[in-house]
Amino acid sequence: MSRISKTFNGLQAEGRKGFIPFVTAGDPDLATSLAIVLKLAELGADVIELGVPFSDPMADGPTIQRSSERALKGGVTLAKVLDLAAEIRKKSDVPLVLFSYFNPIFRFGVDEFEKSASAAGIDGVLLTDVIENEAGAISRRFGEHGIDLISLVAPTTTDERLEAICENARGFIYAVSRAGVTGAQETTSLTAEQLVNRTRQFTDLPIAVGFGISTPAQISDVWKYADAAVVGSAIVSVIEKSDQEDVVLRVEEFVSALVPNRSVSVAK
């Protein structure tokens, strides 16, 4: 059983819902990313998404686009992201999911990526730009290396496509709260709950809701109908606006206010 499955099984047994933060790996630099991720794990993150910097992040809004640009300017590559994951894994068992477009993996070499990601302790990969036939083949290949393919569904996804996507998914389903790109919003979409309910017709996997979640009230709302809430742009924005010497503290303050009383030990 994967770390992701164990985590969600544990949450269900305890009657709790999950918190999944996203950060762009290498923003503002790799050493600081390591400190931020370990702090997020300490604050009780159930799964952590590591964004792989990419030059054409079409599913992302301005905040995450800028974070990718900063990381790329700093020389961050997929290989360095995997090295970062390996460093995280030395100090924490928190499940790690790479959030990536397919191009960086294709350039890296799919065979080599599968081996390297598994060796680095990556538990799942979320690919934003693969279609059903590709997803099926990739899911099987990743599964041979103990890596879950995390699948995206959106309010515009038809029931027919929902069924096909869920057949290939592993770990959990990522339900996009609204059509469009990433970015913090003041309210969560009313269609998100409908999407979660539709998706549950086709899978028993946990369902996490993301895109636009940035406040405790929004997280509480999502937790009423989904298994986890994903917070990305709001955390990346805190990183962007903070001085490097106090960025970890600023992230800690922000996340502690989002999901209080979840702190855990990350020592291995």
**Which of 19, 84, 79, 75 lies closest to 50, judged by CA?**
84
60 is catalytic: yes
> CB under 8 Å, gap of 24 or more: what pairs does 72-77 form?
74/26, 74/27, 74/28, 74/29, 74/30, 76/25, 76/26, 76/27, 76/30, 77/104
Stretch (H or E) spanning 176:
strand 173-176
- Rounded to 5 degrees, φ, ψ at 155 are -60, -25
Hey, what are 214's tokens? 């940035």
253 is catalytic: no
- Can you state the percent helix, strand and coil of the chain, rounding each to 5? 50, 15, 35
3-state secondary structure 17-83: CEEEEEEECCCCCHHHHHHHHHHHHHCCCCCEEEECCCCCCCCCCHHHHHHHHHHHHCCCCHHHHHH
Q: Which of 60, 148, 193, 252 is catalytic?
A: 60
The owner of tokens 């301005």 is 62
Q: Which residues does residue 174 pair with via DSSP β-bridges, in sequence order?
A: 152, 208
The owner of tokens 């999911």 is 97
Q: Which of 27, 42, 49, 193 is catalytic?
A: 49
**Which of 157, 256, 259, 265 lies closest to 218, judged by CA?**
259
Catalytic positions: 49, 60
